[in-house]
């Protein structure tokens, strides 16, 4: 029972610890959000032309326990202005696309019906969590090609300054298959934004892309081979976190790419790093080729033996090895069940079937009723020809094969020899890419209503962060204010996945049930425990009996002391009288006297036993001393009297 109680307590404590950890994790997330909001508010407060946020909390008391507070945000939005040096910035708050050029060309290598870039663009507000006055670029068409681009204020040249690219994306209707990435178009002499298409040269492609269950965050740059001047795409490694939520939560997310002159890069989503690495080591294919390659002219010799094991050439098939023996044979011990109907077919023609009226025997052939199980066989073990069941053949061995032994001529796995790579080069500064002077969106999507906003290209991360605080930060605050509570979110999740209700019930009900089962106050022990094994009433009676015995013993002690006092005064006359009386009674009575003496002896022995036990257990130290002082004389007197009586009796 104790072991079961211990395991139950351990389980209960584990569940409580799990609940506390989940609550702490939720609190940490909330604190993280509050920290980010506070950071955004600080950025907003520091900017001269930033938005002004005023939060009004209004609540009325309801009852003695308090009241719910209704929080409403009044947002006064002002178009953010970049503070610092930038190469490009766009907010779309003027509601026009005057700065942008929609492509008017055709997509190469595609059917004429879908090759045209005829997808529609629009400047409008968000569908949910709107910030009054904030506008963005929206992809409006479904299953069409879209292309739009804009020139930078001045070209970006990769030299000593870092590159920071940042913009916002919101998949307002989710995303099935499509992308929301941008292209930084290379600074070419023949760059024409009206002819912007999928093969227009670009330097960097960056942004989210999704098709099926493959969630990607692209960072692709084109590297120029210093030997032959060819351009080759280099793909950064995949993000270190799960990106699914950024595509499905229908919130505005901030995507940031940072490239440094030391060839390091970092990708951030909502100002949190999701991937970082080096342009030299963390891209595929690598920037620099290997120094050695396989010799294309080398070939494996004909006598090269790559077999590590070979059949033993000296092995011989045993004489009793029968390769023709079947794997299965009929069971020789099987016996046909009694009542087997050999003459009855297993299936018979359906007697209830009728030939269809439109049956043409010339076209369809002779009509035959469909077959049904023979009803006679339902009560019998079986019908038709009986065959014994098959079993594994104990004599079956299969085809004989010689055992394998080590190959003495084994030479290992052949590989071609290595030669110097004629195309080898070493570029230690892949950051120095082709300069670019335009930014463009060239997309195809099966989902519409993709929202883009607040593009910025700069060399300073601080400038991009302040820009984000004046723009994306407001959207985050409004979305957080309009977000449902925890219980509402749990309910919504359970509506999408009904099995979550079971998880909720177990999470809440199991700790409560265990707490009630093991921690509920037990019934008092006095009510039922001692009634079964050790009733309390007999204990009380025994105590009363002990008290009475003690009182009787005390009275007897007093009587003994009084008798002793009298005995010390006149012992001899008393003895003489007693002996004389005994002799007279002995002469007269005989047997009756002996019986009386035996009864007196037994009574005196019982009194001595009781007095000794009471003196050893219950008397105090002083009473013990007094008993010791007078006990010897009393005890001696009694012993002598008893001894004399026993002698006379004998």
Q: In Å, how far are 306, 409, 411, 419 from 299, measured between CA atoms?
A: 14, 19, 15, 14
Higher pLDDT, 301 or 600: 301
Which structure tokens are listed for 66?
Answer: 């308090």
Q: In Å, how far are 110, 280, 312, 433, 582 from 262, measured between CA atoms?
A: 40, 10, 61, 13, 133
> Is the pLDDT reported for residue 437 higher than 80?
yes
Of 21-25, 176-180, 192-196, the poorest mean pLDDT is in: 21-25
DSSP 253-294: EEEEEEE-TTSEEEEEETTEEEEEEETTTSEES-SSPPSEEE
Q: CB neighbours of 477 closer than 8 A, spacing ≥ 6? A: 37, 40, 41, 53, 73, 75
Task: Please write the tens of the pLDDT for every residue from 312-350.
Answer: 999 998 988 888 889 899 998 999 899 899 888 888 998
Q: How far apart are CA 437 and CA 458, in angstroms?
A: 13
Say what percent of the chain tops pLDDT 90. 39
Range ranked top by mean pLDDT from 336-340, 381-385, 458-462, 539-543: 458-462
Which structure tokens are listed for 364?
Answer: 């369809």
Say what percent of the chain tops pLDDT 70. 68
Give yes or no for a cis peptide into 181 (omega within 30° of 0).
Answer: no
State pTM to two decimals. 0.57
Helix intervals (H) in 497-590? 500-519, 525-533, 536-569, 571-588
Beta-sheet pairing, 390-392 with 144-156: unpaired
- For residue 450, what pLDDT is reported? 95
Helix intervals (H) in 176-283? 244-248
- For residue 183, what pLDDT is reported? 96
> Is the pLDDT reported for residue 2 higher than 90?
no
- For residue 614, what pLDDT is reported? 47
Number of other CB atoms surrounding residue 117 within 10 Å: 21
Report whether 180 contacts 208 (CB < 8 A): yes
> Is the pLDDT reported for residue 559 higher than 80?
no
> Is the pLDDT reported for residue 571 higher than 90?
no
pLDDT band at 201 (very low <50, low <70, confident <90, very high): very high
Q: Of the candidates 480, 477, 473, which has an alpha carbon nearest to the alpha carbon of residue 43?
A: 473
Cα-based torsion angle of the residue sequence 481, 483, 487, 492 in order, rounded to the nearest 10 degrees: 170
Q: Of the candidates 601, 605, 641, 571, which has an alpha carbon nearest to the alpha carbon of residue 593?
A: 601
Which structure tokens are listed for 136?
Answer: 């963005």
Q: CB neighbours of 550 closer than 8 A, spacing ≥ 6? A: 614, 618
Range ranked top by mean pLDDT from 98-102, 324-328, 499-503, 604-608: 98-102
Task: Please write the tens of the pLDDT for every residue from 475-486.
Answer: 888 888 776 666
């Amino acid at each position: 029972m104790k072991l079961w109680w211990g395991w139950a307590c351990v389980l209960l404590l584990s569940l409580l610890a799990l609940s506390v950890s989940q609550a702490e994790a939720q609190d940490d997330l909330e604190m993280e959000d509050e920290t980010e909001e506070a950071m955004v508010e600080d950025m907003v407060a520091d900017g001269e032309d930033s938005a002004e946020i005023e939060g009004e909390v209004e609540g009325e008391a309801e009852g003695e326990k308090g009241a719910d507070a209704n929080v409403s945000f009044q947002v006064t939005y002002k178009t953010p202005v970049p503070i610092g040096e930038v190469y490009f910035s766009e907010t779309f708050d003027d509601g026009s696309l005057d700065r942008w050029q929609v492509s008017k060309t055709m997509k190469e290598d595609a059917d004429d019906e879908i090759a045209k870039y005829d997808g529609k663009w629009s400047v409008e507000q968000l569908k949910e969590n709107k910030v009054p006055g904030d506008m963005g670029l929206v992809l409006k068409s479904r299953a069409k090609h879209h292309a739009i681009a804009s020139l930078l204020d001045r070209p970006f040249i990769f030299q000593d300054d870092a590159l920071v690219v940042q913009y916002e994306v919101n998949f307002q209707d989710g995303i099935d298959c499509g992308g929301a990435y941008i292209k930084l178009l290379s600074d070419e002499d023949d760059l024409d934004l009206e002819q912007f298409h999928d093969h227009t040269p670009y330097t960097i492609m960056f942004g989210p892309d999704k098709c099926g269950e493959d969630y990607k965050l692209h960072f692709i740059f084109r590297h120029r081979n210093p030997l032959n001047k060819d351009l080759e795409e280099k793909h950064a490694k995949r993000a270190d976190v799960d990106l699914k939520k950024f595509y499905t939560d229908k919130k505005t997310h901030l995507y940031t790419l940072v490239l440094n002159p030391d060839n390091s890069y970092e990708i951030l989503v909502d100002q949190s790093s999701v991937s970082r690495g080096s342009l030299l080591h963390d891209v595929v294919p690598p920037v620099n080729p290997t120094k050695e390659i396989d010799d294309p002219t080398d070939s494996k010799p004909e006598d090269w033996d790559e077999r590590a094991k070979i059949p033993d050439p000296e092995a011989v098939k045993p004489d009793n090895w029968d390769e023709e023996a079947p794997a299965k044979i009929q069971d020789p011990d099987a016996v046909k069940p009694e009542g087997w109907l050999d003459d009855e077919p297993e299936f018979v023609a359906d007697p209830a079937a009728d030939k269809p009226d439109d049956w043409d025997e010339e076209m369809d052939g002779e009509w035959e009723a469909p077959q049904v199980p023979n009803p006679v066989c339902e009560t019998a073990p079986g019908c038709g020809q009986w065959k014994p069941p098959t079993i594994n053949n104990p004599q079956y061995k299969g085809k004989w094969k010689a055992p394998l032994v080590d190959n003495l001529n084994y030479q290992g796995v052949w590989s071609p020899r290595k030669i110097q790579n004629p195309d080898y080069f070493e570029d230690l500064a892949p950051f120095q890419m082709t300069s670019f002077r335009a930014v463009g969106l060239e997309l195809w999507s099966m989902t519409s209503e993709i929202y883009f906003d607040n593009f910025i290209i700069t060399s300073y991360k601080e400038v991009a962060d302040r820009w984000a605080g004046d723009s994306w930060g407001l959207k985050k605050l409004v979305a957080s204010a309009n977000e449902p509570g925890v219980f509402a979110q749990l309910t919504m999740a359970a509506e999408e996945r009904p099995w979550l209700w079971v998880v909720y019930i177990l999470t809440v009900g199991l700790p409560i049930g265990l707490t009630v089962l093991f921690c509920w106050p037990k019934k008092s022990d006095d009510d039922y425990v001692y009634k079964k094994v050790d009733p309390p009433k007999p204990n009380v009676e025994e105590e009363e009996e002990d008290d009475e015995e003690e009182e009787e013993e005390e009275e007897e002690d007093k009587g003994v002391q009084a008798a002793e006092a009298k005995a010390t005064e006149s012992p001899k006359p008393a003895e003489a009288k007693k002996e004389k009386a005994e002799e007279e009674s002995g002469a007269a009575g005989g047997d009756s006297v002996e019986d009386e003496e035996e009864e007196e002896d037994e009574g005196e022995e019982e009194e001595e036993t009781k007095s000794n036990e009471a003196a050893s257990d219950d008397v105090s130290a002083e009473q013990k001393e007094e008993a010791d002082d007078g006990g010897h004389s009393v005890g001696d007197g009694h012993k002598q009297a008893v001894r004399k009586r026993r002698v006379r009796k004998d």
